[in-house]
């Protein structure tokens, strides 16, 4: 990332947004707390040296005596992890998560035993007509991957 380039992100519903221009090392954390906080197999985080909340404020959960975790109080999206060493932002919450491709794995003692074989799982490419019909009827309420002037979004005229 070029120095000073701004990166933005936020939660799924758009209630909480952030901006950062100085990112540190991106990682994936295998500790059990990250697995539970993200509801996934690991926690993808990047050090954020000068992040600011640009819309709303996250809610915080004191997950241990040494760390607290931020999440959106409206939609529950995991947003950050903070210790006395600083703030780390959830990579998946960035508008462009590719700006923070993980460079290291940490806390391997809690890595799930199947993690290293996930990319070898079969891939389903065919889509049934029933699934295609289901997908065509979905209207996403997710906030777009860019800053917007208003939140909550205005109702579209009918």
**Is residue 96 a part of any domain in this protein?**
yes
User: Domain total for the chain?
Assistant: 1
**Is residue 110 a part of any domain in this protein?**
yes
Mean predicted lDDT score pLDDT of the chain: 92
**Is residue 55 a part of any domain in this protein?**
yes
Q: What is the DSSP string of 58-121?
A: -EEE--SSS-EEEE-TTT--EEEEEETTEEEEEGGGBSSGGGG---EEE-GGG--TTGGGGGGS
- Residues β-bridged to residue 116: none
Model pLDDT, residue 157: 59
d(C-alpha 84, C-alpha 20), whole Å: 19
The parent domain of residue 108 ranges over: 7-114
Model pLDDT, residue 107: 97
What is the CB neighbour count within 10 angstroms for residue 120? 6
Phi-psi region of 77 (alpha: psi -120 to 50; beta: other; left: phi over 0): beta
**Is residue 77 a part of any domain in this protein?**
yes
Cβ–Cβ < 8 Å for 143, 14: yes
Model pLDDT, residue 1: 46
Residue 2 has pLDDT above 80, yes or no: no
Cβ–Cβ < 8 Å for 44, 91: yes
Beta pairing class for 23-29 and 104-106: parallel
**Is residue 45 a part of any domain in this protein?**
yes
**Is residue 127 a part of any domain in this protein?**
no
Model pTM above 0.75: yes
Cβ–Cβ < 8 Å for 99, 1: yes
Give the H or E element holding residue 53. Answer: strand 52-55
**Is residue 142 a part of any domain in this protein?**
no
Which band of pLDDT confidence, cut at 50, 70 and 90, is reported for residue 143? confident
Residue 63, domain CATH: 2.170.150.70
**Is residue 2 a part of any domain in this protein?**
no
Residue-wise pLDDT tens digits, 4-60: 789 999 999 999 999 999 999 999 999 999 999 999 999 999 999 999 999 999 999
């Amino acid at each position: 990332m070029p120095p000073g380039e701004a990166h933005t992100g936020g939660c799924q519903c758009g209630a909480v947004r952030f901006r950062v221009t100085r990112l540190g090392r991106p990682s994936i954390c295998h500790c059990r707390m990250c697995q539970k906080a993200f509801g996934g197999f690991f926690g993808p985080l990047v050090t954020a040296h000068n992040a600011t909340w640009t819309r709303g404020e996250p809610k915080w959960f004191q997950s241990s005596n040494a760390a607290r975790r931020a999440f959106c109080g409206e939609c529950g999206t995991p947003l950050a992890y903070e210790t006395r060493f600083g703030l780390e932002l959830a990579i998946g919450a960035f508008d462009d998560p590719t700006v923070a491709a993980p460079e290291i794995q940490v806390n391997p003692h809690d890595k799930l035993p199947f993690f290293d074989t996930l990319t070898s799982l079969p891939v389903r490419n065919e889509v049934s007509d029933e699934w295609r019909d289901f997908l065509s009827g979905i209207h996403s309420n997710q906030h777009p991957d860019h800053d917007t002037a208003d939140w909550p979004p205005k109702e579209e005229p009918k």
